[in-house]
Amino acid sequence: MVNVTLFDMVLLPVRNLLLVLLLLFCTGFSGRKEEGGAIVLPADLRNGDIIFLQSSSRQSSTLEEATHSRWTHTGIILRRDNRWMVAEAAATVKYTPIEEFIGNGKGHRFVTKRLEKSPFGSTDAGPKLAKQVARFLGRPYDIHFKWDDETIYCSELVWKVYQPFVSLSKPQRMRDMDLAGPQAKRMIEERYTRKGQRLNPDETVVTPAAIFNSPRLVQVYDSRDHRGAK
């Protein structure tokens, strides 16, 4: 028989609470990966689906401000080696496992869209799109949002990969963006002015928001509808 004192009875709940907290921290309860809950993938993913999310990168808030859209990162879903991957322009143009791609977004919220009328007919779009992606693999990320192919940003990659087959959206000019806000002004100062460069207002640009709003695309999945992401 175990002798339990009044002192032990008072401390027991406190000890249990401390044990629970310790376990939570040791299992990563406070880590960013848990913020959005479990990642649930669409059951009917197809080669060529375009995925959108709200990036957790430093420039995400600037893009939100400039485009008035929460969708600040995008990529193309392709099946490679029996695994779903996302062709994206991040640090470089690369393939990223889809779970990792989604995990890098805020709250794990994502949306997938696809062409309403496929230019590929009944054939698999994967090989043709992968061939286009290969042209850009390894190219560095374009922090200046230029339209040449030396460096590439995310929505530029998606647009240019699809362009030989269909135009996803009408390109805009840099002047069409809302660059009057504090985030945009800060970015221009850091990336252009301090380096003695000038942002070209006539630079061709395609944003994640422009592709997201393309009339050629139909939405097929929103993770919020399946797991309550915010």
Position 113 scores a pLDDT of 98
Position 181 scores a pLDDT of 93
Position 135 scores a pLDDT of 98
pTM: 0.81
Three-state DSSP string of the chain: CCCCCHHHHHHHHHHHHHHHHHHHHHCCCCCHHHCCCCCCCCCCCCCCCEEEEEECCCCHHHHHHHHCCCCCEEEEEEEECCEEEEEEECCEEEEEEHHHHHHCEEEEEEEEEEECCCCCCCCCCHHHHHHHHHCCCCCEECCCCCCCCCCECHHHHHHHHHCCCCCCCCCEEHHHCCCCCHHHHHHHHHHCHHHCCCCCCCCEECCHHHHHCCCCEEEEEECHHHHCCC
Position 32 scores a pLDDT of 34
Instruction: Mark the ranges of the chain whose per-residue pLDDT is less than 50.
Output: 1-35, 228-230
Position 85 scores a pLDDT of 99
Position 48 scores a pLDDT of 98
Residues 140-189 have pLDDT tens digits of: 999 999 999 999 999 999 999 999 999 999 999 999 999 999 999 999 99
